[in-house]
Structure 1
Amino acid sequence: MTQTSPSSSPSLLRLAGLPYFLIAFIARLPFAMMVVGVLTVVVTARDSLSLGGLTSAAVGVGTAVVGPFLGAAADRYGQRPVLVIVAVLNALMLAVFAVVVYSPASGALVLLSAFTVGATAPQVAPMSRSRLVTIIDERMPRERRARTTSATMSYESAADESVFVFGPFLVGVLASLIAPWAPIALASLLTLIFVGAFALHPTGREVSASRAADGAAPSAASELFRPSLLVVVVGIFGVGLFFGAALTALTSFMDDRGAAEQAGLLYGVMGIGSAVLALGVAWLPARFTLHMRWLAFAGILLAGTILLATAGSVTGMTIALAVLGVGVGPTLVTLYSLGAARSPLGRSATVMTMLGSGVVVGQAAAAALTGEIAERAGTGPALLMPLAAAGVVVAAGVMNRLLTPVRR
């Protein structure tokens, strides 16, 4: 049998196929549209900004609580059956939510309905990361795995950033041109079609060879709670805190200037820069280790939040957001790469959904807290919240360095 040289072995693009990446990208859109779409339709139909904020938070809580269990189920039974079931359920729950919002139902029922929307949200991004990491580990030469994993996490993070910039924009266009319920209807349709296609794609059959015949993992569930893995979860939770605090504080900043509706456009400065820099991480030299990257880019994130807290004009705020884009994208890529490297055997989907849930929980918690601070104490104190979140990311990076001694 002829030995295939590493240089002639197929790339990940060839192994997964270009259609896979297109399907996986569009399949992320529904979730990016859900949180903002839910907020828009509730504020419009119920004329209550506070209920709208609570409803968006309920979606996030549902995702964070149930997401890791969906990841564990995918590890145990395979991604295909889990994704098919949640795609159908989520499309149905979105339709039910729209009906509940426009009905005379109580606010509590609206919140419960929003929770079910989040709980059934297909975990496309974590499942995609897990699926691609499995292909890399099982079907690529060992010497190419580290760089390919880094490049994959770069792409995945850039895809997430792009979707979360484009998703809210699409919600605004549909709500303005058609009706507030239109984004929810489109999210339901996209879930059925593209999450279904993502589930049924041939890569959906990829299962780690480390799994037993009955699907059981060779590693104990307790390995998910190793300090070296939990510190990554804390770090990515800090990034979620930053996202929630930054957007809310920025909205307050622009509202003071009578242009709250422009906060999303200004936020895009950071989102676009973050996506571009996330892609660039794949080209960093191997000697610039993941531990060093975490500390370096988290340091840039911290510096950017200092500029953010002291910005006195829209120009100064734009510069601060540009600096933050340099720090947050590569930091996110680094944390997902560390999560992939430290996943217990046969539990990669569980780990990826844990990390994804960490971002969601942090974002929801910080948005709620920062909004309360902005309303009670003003924009100045609210602008300190992203700084505190960046401090969490840096502290977790230092702890990670202490938990993983330098190897020479």
Structure 2
Amino acid sequence: MSSEMNRPAEAGQHPEPAAAAALSPSSSSHSAPLQPQTLREAVGPTYFPIALIARFPYAMMVVGVLTLVVAARDSISLGGLTSAMVGLGTACFGPLIGAAADRWGQRPVVLAAGVANSLALLLLAWTAYSPLGSWSVLSAAFLIGASAPQVPPMSRSRLVGIITGQLPAARQQKTLNGTMAYESAVDEVAFVFGPLVVGLLAAAMGPAAPIIGAAVLTAIFVTSFALHRTSRAVPHHTEHDVAPAPTRALFSPGLLVVLVGVLGIGLVFGSTLTSLTSFMDDAGHAERAGLAYSAMGVGSAAFALGAALFPTGFSLRARWLTFAALILVGAVGMRIAAAAAEPQLLLLMVALLVIGIGIGPTLVTVFSLVAQRSPQGRSATAMSMATTGIVVGQSAASAITGALAENYGTAVAALVPLLAAGVILVAAVVNWFLSRSR
């Protein structure tokens, strides 16, 4: 097995013995026979569908905001800036929401964030068509990002806590690997098909429909996620608990390099979608951009799930380096297709497929590393920082790539996915040497 998986769990990966005993159904002789043998038994049949649908509003935010503002205010530059404000809000408050969950528990924090996010989404839907100035739109977008409920990191934190606290020790590592693969796959499904949902709703019901739909989904499914019994799987800290690791532990080199890699993945998402939209517009098929983009998601989700089948000798650092190189190859192909004299749609589709095959396993790998390297008592915070990196990268890349496409053309815009892939690869190389030294 790889060095990452063989070494003892790092701080934050496993609960303290007392907490584990409290979580485990086998903590007493009377309840031992009731110990769940699989993760599905532990979380119940409704958890995974709820957690999947609850992710979609988070994945729809950036593209939905862009679509609404461009249609309502007739300004691509304002739309890109508004999307960037969503990312800025998430960057400022996403990790704080995770820290609050570590301190007070997930249920009250996710409930409060869900209510605030639903109201912020509805506020944007109103201000976009109101006579108020651009400041109102930008402010509402910032509130949307700041109140995003952070379902993906909360879900990972819950499941890691359940696996390490309730399942038999012999099944924990294999279940953890498969769970990280599944979580990354459903993240990929949400982040790729979220824009497709936005496009369908906007085309069928108007530009405000995706934002209103996201508000409704948040109110129903994020609330259900918050109230699910698994919200108590990651207990909050009190004065009687072992003190969590200091905040500075979140900025260790091993964790920071992973967060840079996650940011690169977000940059790939945003730049690929925007440059693809520009490419399809040049080809006279702008309305098909969402469908073309979903082709990348199919390969990505499939290979993310397949990552659970990788041999244990294929270490996490080797996986990251391998699939980061594959993303770079796909980005090169996309740039060649965009720079050709005539639109090379077939080459573009092949390039998107290659990027997707690389992105899926890379997501699995980096989130597995975040789970391993989370400091004691800071798992939700670390997971929130990682997921925030995706939204920040997606927002920033969408704004930058859109401005380049509008002012300099698709060929220049297609350089941004290439640079984003380079960020992932450089982070993978640094992680290779950091992992060896560890």
State the partner residue of 1:245: 271
Q: Point out 4+ residue stretches in structure 1 off by more than 3 angstroms.
A: 1-5, 211-217
User: Which of residues 390, 400, 403 is equivalent to 2:431?
Assistant: 400
Deviation, 1:3, is 11
Helix, strand or coil for the counterpart of 1:405?
helix
State the partner residue of 1:111: 138
State the partner residue of 2:345: 314
Change (3 A) 1:230 1:62: same
Q: Is the 8 A contact 1:237 1:361 kept in 2?
A: yes
Change (3 A) 1:170 1:243: closer
Counterpart residue identity of residue 152, structure 1:
T
Change (3 A) 1:147 1:77: same
State the partner residue of 2:287: 261
Deviations 1:274-302 (A, max 9, x none): 01110000111111111111111111111
Change (3 A) 1:215 1:266: farther
Deviation, 1:406, is 6.9
Change (3 A) 1:208 1:81: closer
Counterpart residue identity of residue 334, structure 1:
T
Q: Is the 8 A contact 1:80 1:199 kept in 2?
A: yes
Alignment of 1:381 with 2:412, yes or no, is yes
Alignment of 1:372 with 2:403, yes or no, is yes
State the partner residue of 1:62: 89
Helix, strand or coil for the counterpart of 2:97?
helix
Counterparts in 2 of 1:4-403, with a 5 A limit? Answer: 10-207=37-234, 211-213=237-239, 217-311=243-337, 312=340, 313-403=344-434
Deviation, 1:354, is 0.5
Q: Is the 8 A contact 1:72 1:350 kept in 2?
A: yes
Deviation, 1:320, is 0.8
Q: Is the 8 A contact 1:208 1:346 kept in 2?
A: no
Deviations 1:319-338 (A, max 9, x none): 11111111111001100000
Deviation, 1:203, is 0.4
| Length, aligned pairs only | 404
TM-score w.r.t. length of structure 2 = 0.87
Deviation, 1:80, is 0.4
In 2, Cα distance between equivalents of 1:271 and 1:106: 37
In 2, Cα distance between equivalents of 1:274 and 1:144: 26
Helix, strand or coil for the counterpart of 1:404?
helix
Deviations 1:152-175 (A, max 9, x none): 111111111212333223223332
Q: Is the 8 A contact 1:76 1:216 kept in 2?
A: no
Change (3 A) 1:339 1:109: same
Change (3 A) 1:88 1:285: same
Q: Is the 8 A contact 2:193 2:294 kept in 1?
A: no
In 2, Cα distance between equivalents of 1:385 and 1:98: 30
Q: Is the 8 A contact 2:36 2:166 kept in 1?
A: no
Change (3 A) 1:333 1:67: same
RMSD: 2.1
Deviations 1:19-60 (A, max 9, x none): 011111111122222222222222222222222222122112
Helix, strand or coil for the counterpart of 1:167?
helix
In 2, Cα distance between equivalents of 1:116 and 1:158: 28
Helix, strand or coil for the counterpart of 2:436?
coil
Deviation, 1:218, is 2.8
Q: Is the 8 A contact 1:217 1:347 kept in 2?
A: no
Deviation, 1:70, is 0.1
Identity across the alignment (%): 54
Q: Is the 8 A contact 1:278 1:330 kept in 2?
A: yes
Q: Is the 8 A contact 2:83 2:398 kept in 1?
A: no
Deviations 1:218-271 (A, max 9, x none): 311111111011010011111111112222222222222122222221111111
In 1, Cα distance between equivalents of 2:282 and 2:92: 35
Q: Is the 8 A contact 1:134 1:208 kept in 2?
A: no
Counterpart residue identity of residue 393, structure 2:
G
Q: Is the 8 A contact 1:212 1:218 kept in 2?
A: no
Q: Is the 8 A contact 2:59 2:195 kept in 1?
A: yes
